[in-house]
Amino acid sequence: MEVTLAKSAGFCFGVKRAVDMVYEEAEKKQKVYTLGPIIHNEQVVADLEEKGVHVLQEDLSGLEEGEDVTVIIRSHGISRQLYQKLEQKGVTIVDATCPFVAKIHRIVQEQYDAGCQIVIVGNASHPEVEGINGWCNHTAIVVGTPEEAENCVLDPGKKVCMVSQTTFNYKKFKDIVEIFSKKSYDINVMNTICNATEERQTEAAVIAGASEAMIVIGGKHSSNTRKLYEICSKECPNTHFIQTLDDLDLKAFQFIRSVGITAGASTPNTIIKEVQSYVRSEQ
């Protein structure tokens, strides 16, 4: 059996940076919270819990004003209002927002202050999108599908600034942009999809198209992993979405000659290597 592992599989720059920052803070032996799970990976969150790092909900319940704790903002980023609430609490803030996401925050704030209507292409319930929307006073219109784009009506007298969730499907983004372009709005399109996301999605599609079976590894709540699964499934119907090796049914690969493997941006390298080694050992 030929096993091909995507070079882009696993932690992206922003996620690795955030996770490293949390482990660094955990070593200081003081009370540490992450604002929401640091990444969409249950194994990493559980390991951090054992090291005394707890998950804080975004309503900041349980956090006393002036409490001597460190609160870490995850790579997804947060709204301006939530950041201000943390400052008011008087806690130590460690900002692990991905630099690419922070750039979107600056763009959205500047364009909103200039009077533009903000359109975010992405998943409305994703924490990154919720955070971005918080930099234009939650006035953005969020569009996640071509159908929503077709039905979206904007003020024709207002300039439009369009940005994207960093992990959005690049092909879908282009389709949505094309739909809006035909509506004759005065629109400034900012392709804010992370380069690593584009590369990961493109590579996954190529490997899936050349494989008889495909394995996509990632957390069940990971948006970018679900998008990888969606992309791979179109190229290879025999695509499997797993979180860990325990979810892998090797019986499904008994008569397969080629298997491709990729993983979401929140998947630790240890899990990827474990799956890769196990598939190879069962040849």
DSSP element (H, E) containing 251 = none
Q: What is the DSSP letter of 160?
A: E
Q: What is the CA radius of gyration of the chain?
A: 20
> Position 198: which residue type?
E
| Beta strand 160-164 pairing with 187-189 | parallel
Options 2, 50, 67, 128, the catalytic residue: 128
Q: How many residues appear in the chain?
A: 283
- What is the rounded distance in angstroms from the CA atom of residue 207 to the CA atom of residue 149? 30
The structure tokens 């397969």 sit at: 256
Is 128 annotated as catalytic? Answer: yes
Task: Please classify residue 1 by burial: count the beta carbons closer than 10 Å to its beta carbon, then call 0-12 exposed, 13-18 middle and 19+ buried.
Answer: middle
DSSP element (H, E) containing 239 = strand 239-242
- What is the rounded distance in angstroms from the CA atom of residue 185 to the CA atom of residue 93? 40
DSSP 48-94: HHHTTEEEE-TT-TT--TT---EEEEPTT---HHHHHHHHHHT-EEE
Active site residues: 128
